[in-house]
A = this chain, B = another copy of it.
């Protein structure tokens, strides 16, 4: 069942859908307590909501597959994450706040250390973000013959390079050798690519050469490597697909960018969850669908900080009542992927999910947790099937067939 099929059934309506994404929500049991971060959190409001709803588990991409934020979110909006690929370069650029145009080519850049012609540290001694920004400013003096290059700092040693110009293409290879002890590679057109890719490879090699000259005395950040050349994917807008006015309520640049990529209006809001709830309330009559993104649970998980992740979840719990008081026709609370503190990274584990709607069959689940939701009435299902379920509960899908 693909997105186009759902799209053909979608109709307009005077109903409201809310999707709350607690980034990195899913976790693993703590060795001593035996409880996941969510299970150990104090969440009276989410527990009451689970008690009054139907619950289940979401599988972001596939069993055993750990998704990045791009595919994890794309799937929540109903897109096949294996078909709509957001390239690494594009994700870096939109994460760095760049407003990419469809013809731009973007790449992820690492500042790195080169000694005797070999890459000896692909992170340039975990360069400080401030130094990264200073080096990017220097590199933005580079003038190319036939394109405009702009590099934007991300966190630590990472940056995003964007090429603008006519006759360029993402069909070129990485210069990043991926391992230390090897020389940086020349950028080459991928096999079968045409003239535009040859031109792009020439531009990239010219850029890297000039960057190397500028960085020569900046040891350990005396070189750059590039990878993941990509363009904005041609993503049909959720507004067209699902005939709804859609708003993205996120404060982190990358998630705002993902929202914009799928055609949502991106609203100004704050970092705190209660500020996002206030934003939704303010725009309640102007949109049919609200995607609310809350970042701190993921960040804490990545840091191995279970207590911090619990605080982030409890912050959502405290303000969820404000969302419910708006009386959405369908509201889901879930995550994009798991980020167990025990792993300090994204993981493949399914996400717990609450779906509250007057048109569902409440189940026996009485609290919001990974293992309670595993027994929920919706069972486990792919994230990309959630959108149709939300639209159905908002009575925004017509019957299929006679």
Binding site for B on A (CB under 8 A): 1, 5-6, 9, 28-29, 34, 36, 57, 61-72, 81-82, 85-88, 91-92, 108, 228, 342-343, 345-349, 359-364, 370-371, 374-375, 377, 379-381, 385-393, 397-402
Contacts and interface: CB of A to CB of B under 8 A. Distances in A.
Contacts of A68: 399-402
Contact of A359 (B72, B85, B91, B343): B343
The 7 closest A-B pairs by CB, nearest first: A64-B388, A68-B401, A1-B62, A64-B392, A64-B389, A71-B401, A91-B402
B402 A1 contact: no
Contact of A400 (B65, B371, B398): B65
Nearest to A71: B401
Contacts of A393: 64
A301 B393 CA distance: 18
Chain A binding site: helix, strand, loop or mixed by DSSP? Answer: loop
25 contacts: A1-B82, A6-B64, A34-B362, A57-B379, A61-B400, A62-B388, A63-B392, A65-B397, A67-B399, A67-B400, A68-B401, A71-B400, A72-B401, A86-B402, A87-B402, A108-B402, A228-B402, A342-B359, A349-B360, A361-B371, A363-B371, A363-B374, A364-B371, A374-B379, A379-B379
Contacts of A400: 61, 65-68, 71, 81
Contacts of A346: 399
Given A62-B385, A63-B388, A65-B392, 7 more contacts: A1-B82, A63-B386, A63-B392, A67-B399, A81-B401, A86-B402, A349-B360
Contact of A66 (B88, B385, B390, B399): B399
Contacts of A386: 63
A361 B38 CA distance: 13
A142 B380 CA distance: 56
Select the residue from A87, A343, A359, A360 with max chain B CB neighbours within 10 A. A359
Contact of A361 (B5, B36, B65): B36
Specify which of A62, A88, A361 lies most central, judged by the most chain B CB atoms within 10 Å of its CB: A361
B402 A92 contact: yes
A14 to B, nearest CB: 17
A374 to B, nearest CB: 5
A64 B66 CA distance: 26
A390 B377 CA distance: 24
B347 A385 contact: no
Contacts of A388: 62-65
Contacts of A377: 371, 374
A61 to B, nearest CB: 6
Contacts of A348: 389, 392, 397
Nearest to A392: B64
A343 to B, nearest CB: 7
B63 A381 contact: yes
A71 B5 CA distance: 14
Contact of A401 (B86, B345, B360, B379): B86
A377 B379 CA distance: 10
Contacts of A374: 363, 377, 379
Contacts of A397: 64-66, 348
Given A61-B1, A82-B5, A67 B401 contact: yes
Contacts of A359: 28, 342-343, 347
